[in-house]
Chains A and B, each alone.
Chain A
Amino acid sequence: QKEVEQNSGPLSVPEGAIASLNCTYSDRGSQSFFWYRQYSGKSPELIMFIYSNGDKEDGRFTAQLNKASQYVSLLIRDSQPSDSATYLCAALSGTYKYIFGTGTRLKVLA
């Protein structure tokens, strides 16, 4: 079992819709979770991080964390074609090791 799991996609949503990206993790000692966006041929860039149970909102992005279910999600409201990218979920373990998932490819259709 991979330590951080994501559906590879592609996830296709129409422009203006809500895109929901999900991630599960196996290490209960993981303390923080990060979402990185990676455009094709580019390096990952940080979108959001969360370490408390519940929701955290930043503009069109909302990160959700449920530690009991070991589940993290990223919601993108009013999706735009420019949001089309691969979204990487990462967990920061108790030993300060970053573990990345394989990423979910998002396609926003105009």
Chain B
Amino acid sequence: EAGVVQSPRYKIIEKKQPVAFWCNPISGHNTLYWYRQNLGQGPELLIRYENEEAVDDSQLPKDRFSAERLKGVDSTLKIQPAELGDSAVYLCASSLGLMGQKNEKLFFGSGTQLSVL
């Protein structure tokens, strides 16, 4: 069974340019997460989807970041325009989405390493 698939693996752009990241979660996983991880830090949640509904986007900088999860499967995270401080690894994760279960495990994709010059 395929894991969480992300693309691209690396992206280098100049500041003020737009960039998009794509994620395909594990089949059957209802919950999808986008995290940002800065060097030497733990992942920080940007947005969480339950099926196609964004249930937690409180940490998403909405002036420049947007996300969508059409049909409750694949998701795209976009930054427009990118700033130097957006350089980080963007991780997508998915889980079964069994609300109320204490063992709700996250499975991460390989991430997209973004460098903004």
User: Which residues of chain A have a CB within 8 Å of any CB of chain B?
Assistant: 4, 8, 31-32, 34, 36, 42-46, 49, 51, 88, 90, 92, 96-98, 100-103
Number of A-B contacts (CB under 8 A): 51
Given contacts A8-B40, A43-B108, A44-B108, contact A32 B103 (CB under 8 A): yes
Query: Is the CB–CB distance between A92 and B110 below 8 Å?
Result: no
Shortest CB-to-CB span from B77 to chain A, Å, is 15
Query: Is the CB–CB distance between B104 and A102 below 8 Å?
Result: no
User: Which residues of chain B have a CB within 8 Å of any CB of chain A?
Assistant: 33, 40-45, 48, 56, 91, 99, 102-111
Q: Can you identify 21 A-B contacts, CB atoms within 8 angstroms?
A: A8-B40, A34-B105, A34-B106, A42-B110, A43-B91, A43-B109, A44-B106, A44-B108, A45-B108, A49-B103, A49-B105, A51-B102, A88-B43, A90-B42, A96-B99, A96-B104, A97-B56, A98-B106, A100-B43, A102-B40, A103-B41
Shortest CB-to-CB span from A104 to chain B, Å, is 10
A-side contacts of B104, CB under 8 Å: 32, 92, 96
- Given A31-B102, A100-B42, 5 additional A-B pairs, CB 8 A: A34-B105, A45-B108, A96-B104, A98-B45, A102-B40
B-side contacts of A102, CB under 8 Å: 40-42
Query: Is the CB–CB distance between A32 and B102 below 8 Å?
Result: yes
Shortest CB-to-CB span from A45 to chain B, Å, is 7
Shortest CB-to-CB span from A47 to chain B, Å, is 11
A-side contacts of B110, CB under 8 Å: 42-43
Shortest CB-to-CB span from A85 to chain B, Å, is 14
